[in-house]
Amino acid sequence: MKVAFIVKPPLKEEYQREFLAFEREFKGEIKEEFTEKEGPNNAKNLAKKAVEESFERVVVVGGDGLLNETINGIAEATGGKIPQDFTLGIIPTGSGNNFAKALGIPKDIKKAFEIIKKERPEFCINCGPEAMIREAIKKESKYLSQEKIYSSIEFLTRCGIGLCGSCATSKGYRSCIDGTFLKNNQLGF
């Protein structure tokens, strides 16, 4: 497996310590890239490069803004057709981390790395046409409980995946002014 870390400086000491431990234990290829606000090393370009170099996992080390830029780069590089074996990870080191909070990803860097080390994702997020979501849920249900699968029919949320932050609720659900972001067992499929 190939894992690319897209990191927004300045680095926290705890991140550096956990990254070195991960690097020692990991059996695949690791690349750590540091972002710049503009230019060739912005998060969007680094994410595109990671996809083009066949990295199966991209880990965002930063907050909601860096995550948004990274997702845009991944979507652009794949034409919106993200490979089935691709995984996006988050180590929340930003100031808000609303997306990570909504999904229950711990702010504690060591605990976030424990999630990254797992072979399978902790949860899945689906966004797209209904037929695609049905197929994704069939596959994801083989290794995740329904409470860990989040899905949104493409036309329901303003930003497409609930990343704009205006739809977060205290119970981890999404409720957008244009619709809802629901857990799998609430969709009624």
The last residue of a domain, from among 117, 138, 155: 117
Do 178 and 101 reside in the same domain of the chain?
Answer: no
Question: Across the chain, where does the E strand assignment appear?
Answer: 2-7, 29-34, 57-62, 87-92, 124-128, 149-153, 174-176, 179-183
Residue that has been written with the tokens 């976030």 in this structure? 112
Do residue 83 and residue 166 come from a single domain?
Answer: no
Q: Which of 94, 117, 140 is the last residue of a domain?
A: 117
Structure tokens at 171: 């119970």
Q: Are residues 56 and 129 in the same domain?
A: no
Proportion of the chain in helix, strand, coil states, percent, rounded to 5: 40, 25, 40
Do the beta carbons of residue 89 and residue 117 sit within 8 Å?
A: no
Check whether 42 has a pLDDT greater than 70: yes
187 has a pLDDT exceeding 90: no
Looking at the structure, tell me whether residues 160 and 75 fall in a common domain. no
| Residues 40 and 65 occupy one common structural domain | yes
Q: What is the dihedral of CA 176, 162, 140, 63, to 10 degrees?
A: -150
Q: DSSP characters for 90-113?
A: EEE-SS--HHHHHHT--SSHHHHH
32 lies in the same domain as 107: yes
Peptide bond into 106 cis (omega under 30): no
What pLDDT does 58 receive?
93
- Domain extent at residue 101: 2-117
* Rounded Cα gap, residues 86 and 76, in angstroms: 15
The predicted-structure confidence for 129-156, as pLDDT tens digits, reads as follows: 666 677 777 877 887 787 777 776 655 4
Query: 9-23, 59-73, 85-99, 161-175: lowest mean pLDDT where?
Result: 161-175
For residue 161, pLDDT over 70 is answered with no
Same domain, yes or no, for 110 and 169? no
Question: Same domain for 70 and 141?
Answer: no
**Final residue before a domain boundary, out of 98, 117, 136:** 117
* Statement to judge: residues 131 and 147 lie in one domain: yes
- Is the pLDDT assigned to residue 93 strictly greater than 80? yes
Helices (H), 79-173: 98-103, 109-117, 130-140
Q: Please state which of the ranges 5-14, 48-57, 114-123 shows the lowest mean pLDDT.
A: 114-123
More confident residue, 50 or 120: 50
User: At residue 178, does pLDDT exceed 50?
Assistant: no
| The pLDDT of residue 189 | 43
Q: Are residues 19 and 101 part of one domain?
A: yes
- Do 77 and 164 have their domain in common? no
Q: What are phi and psi of 36, to 5 degrees?
A: -120, 155
- Whichever domain contains 32, its CATH number is 3.40.50.10330
Tell me what pLDDT residue 165 has.
52
Residues 131 and 111 in one domain: no
Residues 160 and 167: their CA atoms lie apart, in Å, by: 11
pLDDT given for residue 55 in this prediction? 92
Average pLDDT, the chain: 78
Domain count, the chain: 2
Token readout for 105 is 């990803």
